[in-house]
Amino acid sequence: MDQTFEIFASAPPGLEPYLLAEVQEAGFGTPVQVPGGVTFQGGWAEVARANRELRGAGRVLARFAAFRVMHLAQLDKRARKLDWAALLRVDVPVRVEVTCRNSKIYHDRAARQRVETAIAETVGAPVLKEASEEALRIMVRIEDDLAVFSVDTSGEPLHRRGYKQQVGKAPMRETLASLFLRACGYDGTETVVDPMCGSGTFVIEAAEIAAGLAPGRARGFAFEKLALDLPATSLGERRAVAQRFYGSDRDDGAIRSSLANAERAGVGDLCSFTRAAVSDLVRPEGPPGLVMVNPPYGARIGNRKLLFALYGSLGAVLKDRFGGWRLGMVTSDGGLAKATGLALTAGPPVSFGGLQVKLYQAQI
């Protein structure tokens, strides 16, 4: 199998430009924005680094082989010629997923059986028919008669950093939080305040970025189950951070969760969490920074009619106490956003938990 191939890092539709910027900053080869993510060139070392270091990627797929196929016998023959023993281990189960589009091979199940048989008979890895957290996922996409073979090298979605054990209702995913922070121009050098912090995701993510902590430092990945001999990756030292990060919430449980999550993430000393209503929000000392918030939208949490007062209060407090700061606000409800009374600009719709949300920004 080629040592250099196409690698795909996924992002929610609408946020691909921000993942592209991150991939470019990280120095990966020839990155290209595509629907649902970013592709770039590399080998298995780059796959490992992408999983450990990319904050905005949802998962990383290694597209390790591709060839033309016109019929099932041809798929069977060419799949057997792949060097599966260089990729898979006999002690790690595999699950094969196949999709066919606009191709002479149109039967997903028949195509899947051919690939499963090729793996079972060439390398002897156990092949599972049902989804399993233990199994490596081999994905085959046959489109316009081109079969592309990928392996999911992440396993658990990458937003599961390994420290957020306590979450509130409708938590913000860490990967999304990272991309929204980037979309607001956050680069790790300014103070971030979240007045409705929930389980602390925005605050902790901002502190980790400032400290230069790799997002995948505390978890495992599917690529570690492959038959690869990869050198250990140095995740670097924590940087000194001058500023602090502030979260508040009116819920005691949210504050306890945030404190515990920040400690597990290793940034507890950089973060302050206090129980407070939005109306009691205090501007931190120092230069202006970023207010980053994901308020309730009424779709799943809260009564929409009552939320107009909450958004209005947020806008009034920011105008009164946070002049010179920037606001980044994630919500699915443009009417509620407008209730802040701030001059907002809206980003593209982004899918989040079955809803379409937008990032609204303002210079306060």
Q: pLDDT at position 302, please?
A: 57
* The model's pTM: 0.95
All residue ranges of the chain with pLDDT < 70 are: 1-2, 166-170, 299-302
Instruction: For residue range 161-183, list pLDDT tens digits in order.
Output: 988 776 656 678 999 999 999 99
Q: pLDDT at position 168, please?
A: 59
Q: At what angle do helices 252-265 and 201-211 cross, to 10 degrees?
A: 20
Q: pLDDT at position 304, please?
A: 81
Cα separation, 362 vs 346, in Å, equals 9
Q: pLDDT at position 117, please?
A: 96
Q: pLDDT at position 162, please?
A: 87
